[in-house]
């Protein structure tokens, strides 16, 4: 039996639904999803296995004009994604304009013949006319690409997408063990789940100024003891994060624990420490330590 395997990279603007799609395909809440832009900071791998195939998806941060060093590091993950793909998925949604600068980066992989699938997402909330216009537009823009309307949220055409991808994969033995779902360690998901809650609970610049580091992850048969350091850029943000009489942090703790218990299917004991870490987003030493640059 010939085995197929390959890397399938999902790229596109923030908020089009890249993380939702990867989670729908992999079937686990691997990548955090919120209505806010720039939720995904790292590149996250998620795997889908079959008896004779293995698809290694990577979810990337949305394409943005990088301003902060953190954002520049995020865009490096995106650039790497363009180069090491066997299949590229470019995700967009109807009504999203296509200033050429956004899709210029796709021209190079098109010349090297990496198969490109343009996914028009969120068809559950669009009109037939807008969808048709989008299909025509993308067909003109990338004549060699396959255009597929989907809904990542409602799982419309997602099975079909898996079939199309599998056909395009090269013959190759599996890259990873067949029971593996992701390349990231458990601590990574703790950080991400808590960051997701912070994105939902706090306003304005707080979510973007926060980083979560899991300092302790002690797993026993019946319980996981987790201790996290949350750091912010300024002392004023520390006050907001903790809230009046610690109420805000308490709420964050309760909601985070609920999510973690679902994710790990175990009881969780969770502790937070909050610290100010001035300008971590602009400090290359810090970004290195946090795994954003190597
Ligand atoms: P990303 O930034 O590209 O990773 O986007 P996310 O996956 O985080 O999704 C951004 C928002 O779009 C979230 O609120 C999702 O629930 C929503 N979304 C994703 N896919 C769909 C879809 O097919 N239909 C609808 N209506 N909403 C979607
Ligand atoms: Mg995302």
pLDDT tens digit sequence for 238-264:
999 999 999 999 999 999 999 888 878
CA of 118 to the centre of ligand 1 (A): 16
Which long-range contacts link 205-211 to residues 24+ away (Cβ below 8 Å)? 205/237, 206/232, 206/237, 206/240, 206/241, 207/36, 208/38, 208/281, 209/233, 209/234, 209/237, 209/281, 210/237, 210/241, 211/277, 211/280, 211/290
CA of 152 to the centre of ligand 2 (A): 12
- pLDDT of 147: 96
CA of 156 to the centre of ligand 1 (A): 13
Q: Which atom of ligand 1 is nearest to the CA of 91?
A: 3
Nearest ligand for residue 64 CA = 1
List the residue whose alpha carbon is closest to atom 10 of ligand 1. 15
CA of 34 to the centre of ligand 2 (A): 8
- pLDDT of 178: 79
Q: Which of 101, 289, 113, 284 is nearest to 213 (CA)?
A: 289
- pLDDT of 294: 66
- pLDDT of 249: 96
* Terminal Cα distance for the chain, rounded: 39
Does the pLDDT value for residue 205 go beyond 90?
A: no
Does the pLDDT value for residue 21 go beyond 60?
A: yes
Higher-confidence residue of 17 and 69: namely 17
Does the pLDDT value for residue 146 go beyond 70?
A: yes
Q: Specify whether the CB–CB gap between 207 and 36 falls below 8 A.
A: yes
- pLDDT of 79: 72
CA of 31 to the centre of ligand 2 (A): 7
Query: The tokens 């691997």 sit on which residue?
Result: 30
List the residue whose alpha carbon is closest to atom 25 of ligand 1. 122
Average pLDDT, the chain: 85
Does the pLDDT value for residue 134 go beyond 80?
A: yes
- pLDDT of 230: 94
Higher-confidence residue of 32 and 157: namely 157
- DSSP states along 56-114: EEEE-PPP----SHHHHHHHHHHHHHHHS-SEEEEEEETT----HHHHGGGHHHHHTT-
Q: Name every protein residue with a CB atom under 6 angstroms from any ligand 1 atom.
A: 14-20, 33, 35, 39-40, 62, 121-122, 124-125, 151-154
Q: Which atom of ligand 1 is nearest to the CA of 14?
A: 2
Which tens digits make up the pLDDT trace of 97-126? Answer: 665 556 777 777 677 778 999 999 999 999
Does the pLDDT value for residue 236 go beyond 80?
A: yes
- pLDDT of 159: 92
Which tens digits make up the pLDDT trace of 30-88? Answer: 666 666 666 666 677 888 888 899 999 888 766 666 666 766 766 676 677 677 789 99
Distance in angstroms (rounded) separating the CA atoms of residues 237 and 248: 12
CA-to-CA separations, 224 to 158, 185, 229, 268, 269, in angstroms, rounded: 34, 15, 16, 5, 6
């Amino acid at each position: 039996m010939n085995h197929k395997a390959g890397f399938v990279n999902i790229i596109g603007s923030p908020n089009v639904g890249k993380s939702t799609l990867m989670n729908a395909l992999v079937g686990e809440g691997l990548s955090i999803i919120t209505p806010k832009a720039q939720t995904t900071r790292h590149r996250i791998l998620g795997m889908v296995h079959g008896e004779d195939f293995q698809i290694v998806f990577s979810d990337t941060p949305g394409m943005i004009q990088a301003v902060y060093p953190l954002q520049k590091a995020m865009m490096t993950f995106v650039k790497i994604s363009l180069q090491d793909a066997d299949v590229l998925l470019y995700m967009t949604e109807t009504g999203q304009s296509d200033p050429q600068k956004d899709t210029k980066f796709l021209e190079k992989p098109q010349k090297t013949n990496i198969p490109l699938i343009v996914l028009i997402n969120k068809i559950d909330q669009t009109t037939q006319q807008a969808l048709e216009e989008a299909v025509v537009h993308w067909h003109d823009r990338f004549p060699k690409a396959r255009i597929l309307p989907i809904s990542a949220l409602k799982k419309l055409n997602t099975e079909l997408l898996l079939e199309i991808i599998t056909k395009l994969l090269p013959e190759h033995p599996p890259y990873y063990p067949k029971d593996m779902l992701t390349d990231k360690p458990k601590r990574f998901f703790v950080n991400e789940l808590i960051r997701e809650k912070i994105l939902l609970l706090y306003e304005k610049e707080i979510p973007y100024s926060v980083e979560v580091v899991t300092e302790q992850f002690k797993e026993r048969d019946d319980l996981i003891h987790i201790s996290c350091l949350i750091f912010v850029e300024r002392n004023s943000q520390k006050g907001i994060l903790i809230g009046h009489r610690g109420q805000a942090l308490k709420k964050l703790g309760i909601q985070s624990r609920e999510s973690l218990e679902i994710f790990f299917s175990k009881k969780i004991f969770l502790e937070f420490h909050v610290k100010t870490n001035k300008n971590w987003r602009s400090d290359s030493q810090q970004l290195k330590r946090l795994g954003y640059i190597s």
